[in-house]
Structure 1
Amino acid sequence: MSDKPKTERRGLGRGLSALMADVSPEPQVSENAPQKRLDQFIPVEMIYPNPDQPRRSFTADDLESLAASIREKGIIQPLILRENPRKTGTYEIVAGERRWRAAQMAQLHAVPALIREFTDSEVLEVAIIENIQRADLNPVEEAMGYRQLMDRFGHTQEKLGEALSKSRSHIANLLRLLQLPEEVLEMLRDGRLSAGHARALITTDDPVALARLVVVNGLSVRETERLAKQPQSKKETKPRVSTEKDADSKALEGDLSANLGMKVRIDHKPGQEAGQLAIQYDTLEQLDELCRILTSMPKGNPNY
């Protein structure tokens, strides 16, 4: 009998819990307990990354930090590999590409690894699970990981929550973010918006416009939620300008009001040369007096 059907049945029936056993850190054992080394050291040049790896971004700073740790302490958790179906005699990374890249930066010639038998579907599933477990994933990457596990492997939100120790509401809220336009998702990816901001935008008529407003004005999540609940016609379309006047402007307003006997308001934008000065008169006599003062002012007199 061919082994292929057996392999496929095993893969389809293993489930998330069994797969996670291969990507979770190994349990600690007593120093006095007999230890059996199941991992082996594989030369880095015999290892190839998974071409279907969902995570495409590996920042230089992140890798350098890990490389520094590897230089000092070595690789604590072995890579998970399988025989490379594309090149005989080599291995393909199932989990641990980031460690493999950092190991090369640390000039290691070989890395500890566990060799496992995985189908193509299981390789992708394990790669997604490992990425979801990472602490530095942005909300979009995490949500897309959950969506892939549900769409490609038929996992429910409940099963994902149980296997990954996440609440169902956490998974559901992240999945809802994927309803947002790509421009908003990009702001979420690069940290200009938080997941809290993004959730508030989901039900708005124009999430892109509101997202831009949030970013430009540095609105808090609470402010974003209040703004999202307002009718579209009442929402701000321009950046907010602080109404708090500096002490010098307030003092000048007081002096001019006292000298003219009329209310004076100065609107001066901080950091700019231009502004507005408004004088309020209550009677026509005050208007006449104001006109007299303005027309009698000598041109170029620095005292006015």
Structure 2
Amino acid sequence: MAKRRGLGRGLEALLSDESGQTEESVANGIVQLKTNEILPRSDQPRQVFEEEKIAELADSIKRYGVLQPLVVTKMETGYTLIAGERRLRAAKAAGLEEVPAIVREATPQEVAEISLVENIQREDLDPVEEARAYKELMAQYGYTQQQLAGRIGKSRSYIANAVRLLQLDEISLSHLIQGEITSAQARTLLSIQHPYQRQKMLDKLLQKKTNVRQMEKAARRTKKKDIYEEEAENRLMLSLGTKVQIIPKKKGGKIEVEYYNAEDLERLLELLEGEGHAD
């Protein structure tokens, strides 16, 4: 049984064969393939390609050619792309009918892993594409987060934090995909349980009125309270006739009682001192 290679050392380790040869050392194995014979993977983790960058790469290819070979695997009809979809798109845009490629044997699992690692190393994936790719690999091949982390050279916590982003609502995910909020800010949004409060925080963030630290502080204030705290809050509001908020902390907590003018404050003082009661 062939020894499975770890992915943590980078793309070069993935593209090496069992004898330890790398992409550079198999230069004689580079072949010219027709672009229309190479099919991108249908489950390619990267879903969005910036047309401007493709056009820039196409201009470079017109001048200098394709400097780095694509990596493909042979199928019954044609070839499936393992690594280099942006180069393939740019080559087609540049009018090339053939491109240099390395043909290697790979299982569907290896193809998926190599494609993911290439995109991560080139920083071609947005956070949501990356998270979905991790989730798909774990579901399809039965990886735990720890096993996947070892395969692609990331920490388990990195994988966990990435996949956790998929718990966001579609609106927040859309802003994350567009780069309007960062992964760190998105994770902080996740800690806000109430949809209205989360939307308010997202709006503030999009208006550049807050930062991650401010968000974290606000998130702690808006975390969903347990049943006892909610009941206590309601009882206090009924007793005092005003808005009351219980803010739990690691040890104990505090109670905020609102008043609206001097007369209202005096009324609350009388209630708390036992000299009156709420209407």
1:76 matched residue in structure 2: 67
Tell me the TM-score normalized by structure 1.
Answer: 0.61
Tell me whether 1:51 sits opposite 2:39 in the alignment.
Answer: no
Identity %: 38
Alignment CA distance shift 1:218-1:14 (3 Å): same
2:179 matched residue in structure 1: 191
Alignment of 1:1-304 (within 5 A): 14=4, 16-17=6-7, 20=11, 21-23=13-15, 26=22, 36-85=27-76, 88=77, 90-205=78-193, 206=195, 207-231=198-222
Alignment CA distance shift 1:63-1:188 (3 Å): same
Give the paired residue count. 215
Q: Is the 8 A contact 1:132 1:145 kept in 2?
A: no
Q: Is the 8 A contact 1:81 1:95 kept in 2?
A: yes
Q: Is the 8 A contact 2:192 2:222 kept in 1?
A: no
> Which moves more between the two structures, 47-56 or 174-183?
47-56
Alignment CA distance shift 1:45-1:36 (3 Å): closer
Alignment CA distance shift 1:36-1:139 (3 Å): closer
> What is the CA distance between 1:232 and its match in structure 2?
7.1
Q: Is the 8 A contact 2:6 2:150 kept in 1?
A: no
Alignment CA distance shift 1:232-1:52 (3 Å): closer
Higher relative contact order (CA 8 A, sep 6+): 2
Over the aligned positions, Cα root-mean-square deviation in angstroms equals 3.0
Q: Is the 8 A contact 2:15 2:23 kept in 1?
A: no
Distance between the aligned counterparts of 1:46 and 1:175, measured in 2? 34
Give unpaired runs (5+ residues) of structure 1. 1-8, 30-34, 234-304
Distance between the aligned counterparts of 2:165 and 2:33, measured in 1? 41
Amino acid at match of 2:160: A
> What is the CA distance between 1:210 and its match in structure 2?
2.3
Amino acid at match of 2:133: G
1:272 matched residue in structure 2: none
Distance between the aligned counterparts of 1:36 and 1:126, measured in 2? 19
Q: Is the 8 A contact 2:45 2:132 kept in 1?
A: no
Alignment CA distance shift 1:22-1:76 (3 Å): farther
Report which of the two structures shows the higher radius of gyration computed on alpha carbons.
1
